[in-house]
């Protein structure tokens, strides 16, 4: 045996043991999106690098240090998508989806960021993403946030708290940017190298700093809410009223600025304190300038994305156990001729019970060895096919989880017995 090849750091295998938790999150999101009239879109994992540098912004962490960028064999620069919004907007523009139409879309899949791997922060991670394009809001802002709240409710999650802010229009933000620059320039000696860098390029990002030494400085900084334009204020107030009307709690946090350049007006983040250093479970905002920035007409839009790994880890942290589907029945055969008919019997049963998990023994060996495997599979019943059973046109049913005598049933009775069991189970 040679050396085993190791995976790339920060890229995880999602093993079968966690499949039930993943499916719970993915199915709940899909059901909610469909119920709200959002349509699925699938976009490539690779895009031209300029799509991201032009949309996410040259001064953001993602573009400055987190992108997986390569030269294609033909020399063009391509990047593994770090997020989905830019690709969805590109796809919509290329295919005329926004031409005199609004779109409510969702998408899911792996994203790639060259970050320092740690708990709940990986280099390949999965996002579930919703985008509503063409709606000026605030109804759609409220709808999107409500959908995320619905998701926590359906999953039983209690810890996520909603942080909300309005960034106003780019013009209002430009004035605020200058005010921030003046403020931080006066205390320039207290800034760390990262904040100094941000002071020049994008002073709003200093508010995002996680350096505890800067907390007081940031608390005393000018507040964005004092610089908001009237329309943005009206938009934000209406959003808050709609959230109130459906009893969604929120905290207005004027220091929430989000790391991407393309946001305007509404930004929000669902945070938790149960994932260690990582707090963001789901984040999003309005990006009214992005479609035109990527070559389309002025088109208002808003979206959010959640990190699937973080939500799955949160289920565990909140001790919400997700049960996996165990086989209802495990079929074994005694003897060569019965074994040759095992697949046929299994298929007959599967046809009668399309919602049950029916497992067939594919290893053979003694009846004892097969029954041991049946037990280990977690199945409720072992179904035994031997010569006696074949002669009677029946199957022996051995209960593996309770103390009831073994019986022989024909296919019809077997199927209705299993169906009865299925309906009884939670
Ligand atoms: P953070 O502040 O934790 O870096 P972010 O602001 O970069 O998050 P977004 O770009 O808004 O995150 O992505 C949306 C969601 O994707 C986040 O709320 C988070 O749940 C998830 N996410 C982002 N980066 C990672 C990562 N490296 N590993 C796992 N999940 C991630
Ligand atoms: Mg990040």
Does residue 57's CB lie within 6 angstroms of at least one atom of ligand 1?
A: no
Residue-level pLDDT at 101: 95
Contact present, 252 and 165 (Cβ < 8 Å): yes
* Positions in the chain short of pLDDT 70: 259, 426
Residues in the chain: 426
| Centroid of ligand 2 to alpha carbon of 412 (angstroms) | 57
Q: To the nearest 10°, the Cα dihedral for 246, 250, 252, 255?
A: -140
Which protein residue's CA is at the shortest distance from atom 9 of ligand 1? 283
CA 135, CA 93: separation in Å to the nearest integer? 16
Residue-level pLDDT at 284: 96
CA 96, CA 87: separation in Å to the nearest integer? 14
Domain 329-424 is found in CATH 3.40.50.800: yes
Ligand minimally distant from the alpha carbon of residue 56 = 1
| Centroid of ligand 2 to alpha carbon of 279 (angstroms) | 11
| Centroid of ligand 1 to alpha carbon of 306 (angstroms) | 7
Contact present, 44 and 87 (Cβ < 8 Å): yes
CA 109, CA 66: separation in Å to the nearest integer? 18
Question: Which of 302, 219, 306, 309 shows the shortest CA–CA distance to 271?
Answer: 306
Domain positions in the chain: 16-169+229-317, 329-424
Does residue 122's CB lie within 6 angstroms of at least one atom of ligand 1?
A: yes
Atom of ligand 1 at shortest range from CA of 280? 18
Residue-level pLDDT at 426: 61
Pocket test for ligand 1, best of 56, 163, 283, 315 (most atoms within 8 A of CB): 283
Atom of ligand 1 at shortest range from CA of 311? 20
Contact present, 364 and 335 (Cβ < 8 Å): no
Q: To the nearest 10°, the Cα dihedral for 18, 21, 25, 30?
A: 80
Residue-level pLDDT at 321: 85
* Helix, strand, coil percentages for the chain (3-state, nearest 5): 45, 20, 35
Identical topology for domains 16-169+229-317 and 329-424: no
Residue-level pLDDT at 261: 73
Does residue 282's CB lie within 6 angstroms of at least one atom of ligand 1?
A: yes
Contact present, 338 and 393 (Cβ < 8 Å): no
Distances (CA, A) of 362 to 16, 374, 384, 389: 19, 11, 14, 20
Distances (CA, A) of 359 to 161, 188, 228, 345, 394: 42, 67, 62, 11, 18
CATH number attached to the domain at 16-169+229-317: 3.30.930.10
């Amino acid at each position: 045996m040679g050396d085993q090849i190791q995976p790339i750091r920060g890229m995880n295998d999602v093993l079968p043991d966690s499949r039930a938790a993943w499916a719970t999150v993915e199915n709940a999101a899909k059901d909610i999106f469909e119920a709200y009239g959002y349509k699925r879109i699938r976009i490539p994992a690779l895009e031209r690098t300029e799509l991201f540098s032009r949309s996410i912004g040259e001064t953001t962490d993602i573009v400055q240090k987190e992108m997986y960028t390569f030269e294609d064999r033909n020399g063009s620069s391509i990047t593994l998508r770090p997020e989905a919004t830019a690709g969805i907007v590109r796809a919509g523009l290329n295919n005329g989806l926004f031409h005199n139409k609004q779109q409510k879309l969702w998408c899911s899949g792996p994203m790639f960021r060259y970050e320092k791997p740690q708990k709940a922060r990986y280099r390949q991670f999965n996002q579930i993403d919703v985008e509503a394009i063409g709606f000026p809001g605030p109804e759609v802002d409220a709808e999107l946030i409500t959908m995320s709240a619905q998701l926590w409710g359906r999953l039983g999650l209690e810890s996520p708290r909603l942080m909300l802010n309005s960034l106003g229009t780019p013009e209002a933000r430009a004035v605020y940017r200058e005010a921030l620059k003046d403020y931080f320039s006066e205390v320039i000696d207290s800034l760390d190298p990262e904040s100094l860098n941000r002071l020049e390029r994008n002073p709003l990002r200093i508010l995002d700093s996680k350096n505890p030494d800067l907390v007081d400085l940031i608390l005393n900084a000018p507040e964005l809410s004092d610089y908001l334009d009237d329309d943005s204020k009206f938009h934000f107030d209406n959003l808050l009223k709609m959230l109130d009307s459906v009893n969604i709690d929120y905290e207005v946090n004027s220091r929430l600025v989000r790391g991407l350049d393309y946001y305007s007006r509404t930004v929000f983040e669902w945070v938790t304190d149960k994932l260690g250093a990582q707090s963001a479970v789901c984040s999003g905002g309005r990006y009214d300038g992005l479609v035109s920035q990527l070559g389309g007409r002025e088109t208002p839009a808003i979206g959010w994305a959640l990190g699937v790994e973080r939500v799955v880890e949160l289920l565990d942290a909140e001790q919400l156990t997700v049960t996996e589907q165990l086989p209802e029945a495990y079929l074994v055969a005694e003897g060569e001729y019965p074994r040759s008919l095992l697949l046929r019997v299994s298929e007959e049963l599967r046809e009668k019970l399309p919602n049950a998990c029916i497992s067939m023994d594919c290893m053979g060996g003694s009846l004892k060895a097969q029954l041991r495997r049946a037990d280990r599979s977690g199945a409720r019943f072992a179904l035994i096919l031997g010569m006696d059973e074949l002669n009677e046109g029946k199957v022996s049913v051995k209960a593996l989880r309770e103390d009831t005598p073994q019986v022989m049933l024909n296919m019809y009775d077997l199927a209705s017995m299993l169906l009865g069991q299925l309906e009884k189970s939670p």
